[in-house]
C-alpha cells in the first residue's frame, strides 16, 4: 500500500534464511576466514580460531563378527584345483570326437583325440598354474618352528627338493617344446611375464619421479645414477615377483586418528595397499585365464577344428571366476571394514558450479580443520560443499573422492562380487539348458560345481554383514565402537 511499511526484499530474505557456519558449529565467527562476514557489537573481542569452533559428532563404527576365511594353503589348493578342472574342460572343447559314431576310424573309438594333445605343454601349464601353491607350501614350511635340528634339516631338504623338482620339470618341458614347435609359438609361453614386468617398472619409475623433489641429493651424484639403475631394476623385479606368490603380510590398522593430517596419511597408506592387492588380483586372474584357456589354442594344429566361440567364452568365464575368487580372498570383510572406517573419517567434497550458493557463507579450506557436513569452502578458485559428516579430504584430490565413493558403504565391493558371480552362474545355467553337445554339458556342469562354492561364501558373508551393519548405532549394544 502507498505510505505503508515495506517488507524485506527477496535478497534480504535469502540471506537471512540460509544458515551460517556459526549456526552449524555453535559459535561466533569473526576471524576473517569467511568471505562474507558481518559486523557485530563484540568487535573488540578476539574470536577463537576456526579449528576450535568446528566440532562435528564423533564417527562411530559398527563391530562386525569374525567370519571364517580360508587359510592361504587351502585357498591356493582350491584355486589350483579349479584351474586344473578348467584346463581339462578346455582340452575337451578342443580335442573332442564323435565317439558314438560307428568305429570306422581308430580315432573315433575314444572321446578325445589323445594323440593330438601335446603332453609337454599340458605339464608346463600345470606347473605354471601351481606356482602359487608351491610357494605357499614353501612359505608355510619356512614359518614352522622345528623342535629339533633333525626336523630343521628335513624342512630345508624338503623345500629344496620341491623347488628343484619344479625347476627340473619346467626345463624338461621347455627343451621338448623347443624341439617340436616354432619360435613364434614359444614366445607365447612367457608373454605374461614379459608384459607385466615393464608395466610395473614404468609405474614405479613414475612414482619415484614424483617423490624426487622431496629428497635432497648432491648434483655430483647424477653421474652415478646410471650405475644404480640396473640394481634398482633387479630389486624391483624381485619385489614384484614376490608379491605375486603371496598376499602382502603387512595390513595397515585403523586407529581413529584425531588430526586431519594423520587421517590423510592413513588413507594414503590404505590406498597404496589396496592398489597393490588389486594389481595382484588382476595379474593373477589374467595369468590364470591366459595359461588355462588361451595358451592351448596357440598350439593347436592347423588341421584341427574346434569351436572358437565356445573356447573364447570359456576363456572369459575362467577370468571372471578367478577374479572373484582372488578378490574374495585378498579383500576379506575385515579388510573392507577397515577401508570403510577410514573413509568415514576422510569424507568427500562436492564441486559446485559458479554462481550457486552465492548468498551462503563461504570459507577458505584449511588442511588442519575438520569440516562438518554442509559447509561451503573455496579451494583453488573453486567452490566445494562438504558431503560426509566428517570431512578432512583435499577438495581437489580425485583419489580422495574415489576412495570415499568406493568404501563409504561397507558392502559395496561385496555386492559387486555377488552381482558378478550371480550373473555368471545364471548365464551358465541358461547355457546348460540350451546345450545340445556333450562337451558343453560336461564343461558347464564342472564349472558350475566350482562356482556354487564361491557364490555360497559370498552370500553367507553378505547376510551376516548386512545384519551387523544394520544394527542401530545409537544403542548400547556390543555393535558400537565410538572414537
Q: What is the pLDDT of residues 151-204, one digit of tens each?
A: 777 888 888 888 888 889 989 999 998 888 888 888 888 887 776 665 554 444
Quote the pLDDT of residue 43.
Answer: 37
Q: Is the pLDDT of residue 453 over 80?
A: yes
What's phi and psi for 144, nearest 5 deg?
-70, 140
Strand pairing of 363-364 and 376-379?
parallel
pLDDT band (50, 70, 90) for residue 483: very low
Per residue, the 3-state secondary structure of the chain, as one string, reads CCCCCCCCCHHHHHHHHCCCHHHHHCCCCCCCCECCCCCCCCCCCCCCCHHHHCCCCCCEEECCCCCCCCCHHHHHHHHHHHHHHHHHHHHHHHHECCCCCCCCCHHHHCCECHHHCCHHHHHHHHHHHCHHHHHHHHHHHHHCCCCCHHHHHHHHHHHHHHHHHHHHHHHHHHHHHHHHCCHHHHHHHHHHHHHHHHHHHHHHHHHHHHCHHHCCCCHHHHHHHHHHHHHHHHHHHHHHHHHHHCCCCCCCCCCCCCCHHHHHHHHHHHHHHHHHHHHHHHHHHHHHHHHHHHHHHHCCCCCCCCCHHHHHHHHHHHHHHHHHHHHHHHCCHHHHHHHHHHHHHHCCEEEECCCCCCCCCCEECCCCCCECCCCEEEECCEEEEECCCCECCCCCCHHHHHHHHHHCCCCHHHHHHHHHHHHHHHHHHHHHHHCCCHHHHHHHHHHHHHHHHHHHHHHHHHHHHHHHHCCCCCCCCCCEEEC
Reported as a single tens digit per residue, the pLDDT across 216-238 is 333 444 444 433 444 455 665 56
From residue 293, how far is each of 46, 124, 125, 316, 387 by CA, in Å?
73, 14, 10, 9, 46
Q: How far is 417 from 425, CA to CA, in rounded Å?
A: 12
Residue matched to cell numbers 577463537 = 48
C-alpha distances (whole Å) from 202 to each of 90, 198, 209, 274, 284 are 35, 6, 11, 19, 19
The residues pairing with 60 across neighbouring beta strands, listed in sequence order, are 482
Distance CA 77, CA 130 (A): 9
For residue 425, give the C-alpha cell: 552362474
pLDDT tens column, 47-98 = 344 444 456 667 777 788 888 888 889 999 999 999 999 999 999 888 887 6
Write the CA distances from 473 to 27, 50, 249, 395, integer angstroms.
27, 29, 32, 28
pLDDT exceeds cutoff 90 at 460: yes
Q: Report the pLDDT value the prediction gives residue 238, as an integer from 0 to 100.
A: 62
Angle value at C-alpha 8, between 6 and 13, nearest 5 degrees: 165
Has residue 462 got a pLDDT over 90? yes
Q: 383 pairs with which residues across the strands?
A: 352, 378
Instruction: Express as a percent the part of the chain with pLDDT over 90.
Output: 24
For the stretch 233-263, pLDDT in tens is 566 556 655 655 444 456 667 777 778 888 8
Q: Which residue has the higher pLDDT, 455 or 110?
A: 455
Instruction: Give Cβ neighbours of residue 336 (< 8 Å, ≥ 6 apart).
Output: 407, 410, 413, 414
Confidence of residue 368 (pLDDT cuts 50, 70, 90): confident
Rounded distance, CA 377 to CA 54, Å?
14
User: Is 59:408 a contact under the CB 8 Å cutoff?
Assistant: no
The predicted structure's pLDDT at residue 194: 72
Distances (CA, A) of 47 to 33, 52, 169, 375: 11, 10, 77, 19
Which tens digits make up the pLDDT trace of 294-343?
Answer: 999 988 887 778 888 898 999 999 999 999 999 999 999 989 989 988 88
Q: Do 91 and 443 form a contact (C-beta atoms < 8 A)?
A: no
Give yes or no for a contact between 129 and 322, defined as CB atoms under 8 angstroms apart: no
pTM for this prediction = 0.76
Burial environment of residue 439 by CB neighbours within 10 A (0 to 12, 13 to 18, 19 or more):
buried
Q: Would you state the cell numbers that stand for residue 394, as one nine-digit string?
A: 583435499
Residue 396 pLDDT > 90: no
Amino acid at each position: 500500500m502507498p505510505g505503508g511499511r515495506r517488507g524485506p526484499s527477496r535478497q534480504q530474505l535469502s540471506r537471512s534464511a540460509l544458515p551460517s557456519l556459526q549456526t552449524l558449529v555453535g559459535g561466533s565467527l569473526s576471524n576473517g576466514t569467511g568471505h562474507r562476514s558481518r559486523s557485530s557489537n563484540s568487535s573488540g573481542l578476539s574470536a577463537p580460531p576456526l579449528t576450535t569452533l568446528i566440532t562435528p559428532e564423533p564417527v562411530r563404527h559398527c563391530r562386525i563378527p569374525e567370519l571364517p576365511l580360508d587359510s592361504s594353503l587351502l585357498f591356493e589348493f582350491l584355486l589350483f584345483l579349479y584351474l586344473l578342472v578348467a584346463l581339462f574342460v578346455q582340452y575337451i572343447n578342443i580335442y573332442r570326437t564323435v565317439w558314438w559314431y560307428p568305429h570306422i576310424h581308430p580315432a573315433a573309438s575314444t572321446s578325445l583325440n589323445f594323440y593330438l594333445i601335446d603332453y609337454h605343454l599340458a605339464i608346463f601349464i600345470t606347473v605354471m598354474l601351481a606356482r602359487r601353491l608351491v610357494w605357499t607350501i614353501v612359505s608355510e614350511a619356512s614359518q614352522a618352528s622345528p623342535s629339533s635340528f633333525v626336523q630343521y634339516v628335513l624342512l630345508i631338504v624338503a623345500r629344496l627338493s620341491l623347488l628343484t623338482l619344479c625347476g627340473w620339470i619346467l626345463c624338461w618341458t621347455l627343451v621338448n617344446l623347443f624341439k617340436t614347435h616354432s619360435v613364434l609359438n614359444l614366445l607365447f609361453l612367457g608373454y605374461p611375464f614379459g608384459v607385466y614386468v615393464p608395466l610395473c617398472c614404468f609405474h614405479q619409475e613414475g612414482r619415484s619421479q614424483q617423490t624426487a623433489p622431496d629428497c635432497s641429493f648432491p648434483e655430483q651424484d647424477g653421474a652415478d645414477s646410471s650405475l644404480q639403475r640396473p640394481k634398482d631394476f633387479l630389486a624391483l623385479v624381485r619385489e614384484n615377483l614376490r608379491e605375486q606368490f603371496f598376499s602382502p603380510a603387512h595390513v595397515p590398522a585403523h586407529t581413529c586418528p584425531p588430526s586431519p593430517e594423520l587421517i590423510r596419511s592413513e588413507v594414503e597408506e590404505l590406498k597404496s595397499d589396496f592398489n597393490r592387492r588389486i594389481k595382484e588380483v588382476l595379474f593373477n586372474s589374467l595369468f590364470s585365464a591366459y595359461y588355462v584357456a588361451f595358451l592351448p589354442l596357440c598350439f593347436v594344429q592347423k588341421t584341427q577344428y574346434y569351436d572358437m566361440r565356445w573356447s573364447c567364452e570359456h576363456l572369459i568365464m575362467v577370468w571372471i571366476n578367478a577374479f572373484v575368487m582372488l578378490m574374495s580372498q585378498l579383500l576379506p570383510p575385515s579388510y573392507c571394514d577397515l577401508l570403510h572406517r577410514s573413509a568415514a573419517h576422510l569424507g568427500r567434497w562436492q564441486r559446485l558450479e559458479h554462481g550457486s550458493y552465492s548468498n551462503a557463507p563461504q570459507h577458505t579450506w584449511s588442511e588442519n580443520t575438520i569440516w562438518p557436513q554442509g559447509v561451503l569452502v573455496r579451494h583453488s578458485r573453486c567452490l566445494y560443499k562438504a558431503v560426509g559428516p566428517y570431512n578432512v579430504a583435499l577438495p581437489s584430490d580425485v583419489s580422495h573422492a574415489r576412495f570415499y565413493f568406493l568404501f563409504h558403504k561397507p558392502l559395496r565391493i561385496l555386492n559387486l562380487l555377488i552381482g558378478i558371480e550371480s550373473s555368471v552362474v545364471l548365464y551358465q545355467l541358461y547355457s546348460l539348458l540350451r546345450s545340445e553337445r556333450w562337451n558343453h554339458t560336461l564343461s558347464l556342469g564342472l564349472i558350475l560345481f566350482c562356482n556354487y562354492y564361491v557364490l555360497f561364501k559370498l552370500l553367507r558373508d553378505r547376510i551376516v554383514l548386512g545384519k551387523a551393519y544394520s544394527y542401530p548405532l545409537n544403542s548400547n549394544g556390543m555393535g558400537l565402537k565410538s572414537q
